[in-house]
Chain A
């Protein structure tokens, strides 16, 4: 009898890392003086992966002792550097009748943002910016009614084998270093007052932008971090504007393969960021039957609870107004954070549908990623990959799931918040 513990994909946590701070690490725990530790359970061994966004102002940048002080200026590292800027037109969020049509086969022409993101990602692949070619990893469907996906990510194994003895090699930290690796920042997204979206090839990063940074250890093709960035505020909690921006990105990309993920599990409250990638097939959770909790009006939000699924899940859907859904979701999320409920978000269907996965309260020392909640598991070696069973995955998800009573409360919370926006 083999108990398979699936490999948890490293979840990136950007944090501000002062250059003078010492990073001490061993094979089980990574300590960073400035703050964040992330634990990964990897086949019964705890692995640590730290993702660091290193904000650098410029060469004469002085290290300040006040961390918060530094965070305030997190955006300054981009000053003086130019990147392509994609300005989302206001049109994409306004009530748009074309939005109502369901894309049956999503056969519309590729959108500009979709083409641009893919071209930039492929360009970095061509230039060898990634640790491995993620398309060489094998994916299969786990036999059973859920049709869970599993991926064998052997490239990740080599990473882990390499560092299984002694200290973590330096490259295990994903450091986005604006000075050293500016090529990892693909482009920035910003809101625009103009109706139509446009691409500015070279410009300095505007205030309140979202940085699109490659994940050099991708889970699937097109894996990027979406990092909100502003000069005067730190993103510790999801705010409505960020959710709205990210939803808007999904809408603008308008590709049914594109999914955006958010993991609320951020130890020591590092900054907020999203991740996104292209999954050619819908994730298993998207096929599960649902129970309608709130059927919003014409402009409202349709809320369902996913039934017959091991992790408690609620889906939100709107046909018309992304903005209202974003506001409602961010309000729900901040309530959940107050109540210490761990959650993940997955945005699919070009921004029209958002899944909320509910995990056990923060007491647990770790949490699972949003794609795992969606039914996509990563394995580090062939044996585990070959031997995985649906039962094991069902057990795994259900042991992270929120309990029934709390789920009822969350359902009520979602409905009462969303119904405020029903017009």
Chain B
């Protein structure tokens, strides 16, 4: 757990410097910031306003996934929409029922948007602004359909329209509720945010983004609100990052289409095994794990496997960052995207000395193959179409 908290600290500090937290806390808004590259897509920052609204303490929230705020009455469809937005790395604005720590539900406008790294176009964080919905504003006929960009700036995405259009069952629920003349606001009823609230969320996001942009200048690792296309940078989309984060084995993805075939994804377990930091591991070449005593014929075998697009299993002497060596049972396999083309090679490592069964009784070899399977499923996703899958049509 400690290592995860370290990663969370790192996630923020290396990008924005230490002092960004103070600056963010000066903002009055309720918001959380999450990092999709850390396994579990945890919250790495929660504003004072958010903590007050939710009733949780800082320690209880950091490292958790946003789902801890959801409960039985949270609409599954809305959760799916948010999940889709994360997959597609776009912004979303929806009405969401969340729960405070004491279990009381409350409606809020959930406005989430990605923040991109300028140098590589990768999503570094998601910012989620939460505006509590006040229930006393007029419900003219029940629907406020004025979200077609009026008065809202560019970062309010078309998701509102979709949300209204698709949740017609909920619309119906509300109409029925009005018909019975019920003045008691039932939490089951869907609550619609007003234009004012939508505008507030958008403004809050802009001010958070400008703080993040300013502070990223201090570290030189700039962020921005819009993706710059970086040709050949080979980033991994956040949805893929999240799917891959579930896989606990030590593995890396290499992109065979980039010069030098760099590592474009490294799992937490890989970082632990080799001692590299995430940003050091990304961009490394497989060869960088070799050392003086690594058998060259094994390297040939690996190269041949890549050339012939076949899977292989080898036992190879690998080196950590500190140059200490270990026997690595490496399984390498091509991984194909939705177009059926090879997008990556996955390399799953097992340190020979630690070859014992896990708590479930699965052997390391089974775990290794299950990681390959899980990576293959994740990379087949169509929502990755805009990502590396598109660039790998070679």
Contacts and interface: CB of A to CB of B under 8 A. Distances in A.
Interface stretch (B277-285, B314-322, B374-382): B374-382
A107 B79 contact: no
Given A107-B245, A122-B376, 6 more contacts: A104-B66, A107-B40, A115-B366, A118-B377, A135-B336, A278-B377
A33 interface: no
A280 B167 contact: no
Contacts of B355: none
A154 B369 CA distance: 26
B126 to A, nearest CB: 11
Interface in B347-382: 360-362, 366-370, 372-374, 376-382
A104 B83 contact: yes
B339 interface: yes
B340 A199 contact: no
B246 A307 contact: no
A221 B377 contact: yes
B67 interface: yes
A104 B366 contact: no
Sort A-B residue pairs by CB-CB distance and give the 9 closest, nearest first.
Answer: A118-B373, A280-B381, A104-B67, A119-B370, A115-B370, A112-B360, A119-B369, A135-B336, A119-B366
Looking at chain B, what size class is its interface with the partner chain?
35 or more
Interface in A309-352: 317, 319, 349
A112 B363 CA distance: 11
A288 B379 CA distance: 25
Given A107-B65, A119-B367, A138-B339, A222 B373 contact: yes
B246 to A, nearest CB: 5
Interface in A231-285: 257, 278, 280-282
Nearest to B374: A118
A394 to B, nearest CB: 18
Interface string B29-71: 0000000000111000000000000000000000001111011
Contacts of A119: 362, 366-370, 373
Given A104-B82, A104-B83, A119-B373, A280 B70 contact: no
Nearest to A108: B246
B380 A135 contact: yes
Interface residues of A, number: 57
Contacts of A198: 361
A322 B101 CA distance: 27
B67 A109 contact: no
B261 interface: no
B394 interface: no
Contact of B367 (A115, A282, A289): A115
B308 interface: no
Nearest to A118: B373
B377 A287 contact: no
Contacts of A140: 338-339, 382
Given A115-B367, A139-B380, A289 B169 contact: yes
A105 B370 contact: no
A225 interface: no
B172 interface: yes
Given A106-B246, A222-B377, A304-B169, A116 B370 contact: yes
B86 interface: yes
Given A119-B362, A201-B361, A280-B380, A107 B367 contact: no
